[in-house]
Structure 1
């Protein structure tokens, strides 16, 4: 079921690869196989649908349902400020359509892009000095929100709240910021653990993934200050990307290289990954999850249950 795609293949292999691709597509899980997969299933590397290589420190994946593509943010070296980060555009079958699709501008280049979120035709990407807004179709930089006046520690992930404001985690300063009319302000600080990933639940509350050794996932009511406990992990740690699907929360745990599912007060491992998973992306059309590994320069895609 597994296939590996790289950005460039030797010309001599093109004919053979074309024939192989047809065979591999036939080996992809059909609808019946997907329906047999349940949330109690535990997958590992033998269940990977696609392994995509050719990246440079991929930190986050975001699926764009309107254009049916993944965006993959790449550190490409020092994430703090070397002006050579980029965001790739990838098709669902694992083809890197454009390796450096988004790079920023001369005045506001990407340094080490991290978490991303899509609102309309704009992809927002957290970076070393602020948040970039890109056109999802052209890759052009539309807007840059400067955070330098706040002296951020490590801007990490971004989400759009139900109130229309952007919310950004700062793992370096254990804080969350809100952007209103293009101006960032501190929403909450001195959290019990540095926040890494951020997402929004069905009730429009912000959920944070705890970094370091913490296991408590805080929740923030959109627009309010302070936090409460959303859930507590029974295993795992160093949580990164988080997504909600079918009432369940999936969180990438770097402590045990796995994806955890949180549901009805319990959490369990659903996928064992070959490396430390970073900020995951969810293909909502195919119910598949894309998992980036910074150290492996690779992204893997797994099938999730359809119900």
Structure 2
């Protein structure tokens, strides 16, 4: 008799505990803070100060820019070509030339068959298939501070952020124009074309949390949204109608859509200029100081 009572109580306790765990898991998915994740899918090591990652969907490869020491003037930066499984196919796939050295490559963007790469003194263009250096746009006449990230509009015009001097440039047929300067409250770091707003979104560096949008059709600079916490926003990319954002202050990756920001997960270091594997729904996160890139799965919902 007594054993049957104990058994019934034990079964009830197990059922109650299981129900409680389900409720806790649900609460974690709906509440604030970073949800639990299994960590990175894999880690790309053997790099040297990786600052940015850009994914080439057609070739199914990542391009990783490497500072390789001084980011300003040592002429030894390079771009690595990495497979989708994290294997480095060619470590120094793209390099500079004696006339146009690659010092500390940063943000990258593909336009047609070219990979454009931001560097200390200007923009380099490489053949994205062969890795051959093809062109260079010199910014030395514009007293660059820290040229950082590059993006293109739907027509193919290039846009480049200068984090050091809080400026945004447009480049058409090699001609450089300053679009925004004094009106930028926070120096722009990353830049991405956000189709939902038909505007470029600028990542604020230096403490600001506002995501500013610059609309080329009107020349307006407006506040698109903000993150509730974090700061020193570096890379940002559009994926599935949302913005994926890297925050260095709190070492985290965020998702932003229609005014709502959700922290996806915390990172082991300060995330730099992220890249998105649009085929598999993954984010590639470079860590300059850690000399590595991590590949994480993006949650489908957020």
TM-score (norm 2): 0.86
Q: Give the secondary-structure state (helix, strand or coil) at the position aligned to 2:141.
A: helix
What's the C-alpha RMSD, in Å, of the aligned pairs? 1.9
Task: Select the residue among 260, 264, 267 that pairs with 2:261.
Answer: 267
TM-score (norm 1): 0.84
Structure 1 residue 91 corresponds to structure 2 residue 87? no
Contact 1:45 1:272 in 2 (8 A): no
Q: Give the secondary-structure state (helix, strand or coil) at the position aligned to 1:47.
A: coil
Contact 2:171 2:177 in 1 (8 A): yes
Quickly say closer, same or farther: Cα 1:114–1:160, change in 2 above 3 A. Answer: same
Structure 1 residue 195 corresponds to structure 2 residue 161? no
Q: 1:226: how far off?
A: 4.2
Paired residue total: 271
Q: Which runs of 5+ in 1 are unaligned?
A: 1-36
Q: 1:268: how far off?
A: 2.1
Q: Describe the superposition over 1:138-186 as per-residue Cα deviations: whole angstroms up to 9, x where unpaired.
A: 1001110110110110000000012321000000000000001112121
Contact 2:243 2:255 in 1 (8 A): yes
Structure 1 residue 254 corresponds to structure 2 residue 254? no
**Larger radius of gyration, structure 1 or 2?**
2
Q: Which residue of 2 aligns with 1:222?
A: 216
Q: 1:96: how far off?
A: 0.5
Question: Which whole-Å CA distance do the structure 1 matches of 2:260 and 2:291 have between them?
Answer: 32
Task: Select the residue among 133, 150, 159 that pairs with 2:151.
Answer: 159
Question: Which whole-Å CA distance do the structure 2 matches of 1:101 and 1:44 have between them?
Answer: 36
Q: 1:38: how far off?
A: 10
Q: Which residue of 2 aligns with 1:48?
A: 40
Q: Give the secondary-structure state (helix, strand or coil) at the position aligned to 1:149.
A: helix
Quickly say closer, same or farther: Cα 1:159–1:305, change in 2 above 3 A. Answer: same
Q: 1:305: how far off?
A: 3.1
Question: Which whole-Å CA distance do the structure 2 matches of 1:148 and 1:215 have between them?
Answer: 30
Task: Select the residue among 261, 266, 274 that pairs with 1:280.
Answer: 274
Structure 1 residue 236 corresponds to structure 2 residue 247? no
Question: Which whole-Å CA distance do the structure 1 matches of 2:248 and 2:160 have between them?
Answer: 21
Quickly say closer, same or farther: Cα 1:89–1:279, change in 2 above 3 A. Answer: same
Q: 1:40: how far off?
A: 8.7
Pairing of 1:135-154 with structure 2 (within 5 A):
135-154=127-146
Contact 1:45 1:273 in 2 (8 A): no
Question: Which whole-Å CA distance do the structure 2 matches of 1:196 and 1:243 have between them?
Answer: 12
Contact 1:38 1:305 in 2 (8 A): no
Contact 1:44 1:272 in 2 (8 A): no
Question: Which whole-Å CA distance do the structure 1 matches of 2:141 and 2:77 have between them?
Answer: 22
Question: Which whole-Å CA distance do the structure 2 matches of 1:209 and 1:90 have between them?
Answer: 26
Question: Which whole-Å CA distance do the structure 2 matches of 1:212 and 1:167 have between them?
Answer: 21
- Bigger Cα displacement from structure 2, 267-276 vs 168-177: 267-276
Contact 1:253 1:259 in 2 (8 A): yes
Contact 1:62 1:116 in 2 (8 A): yes
Q: Which residue of 2 aligns with 1:6?
A: none
Q: Describe the superposition over 1:122-142 as per-residue Cα deviations: whole angstroms up to 9, x where unpaired.
A: 100000000001001110011
Q: 1:45: how far off?
A: 7.3
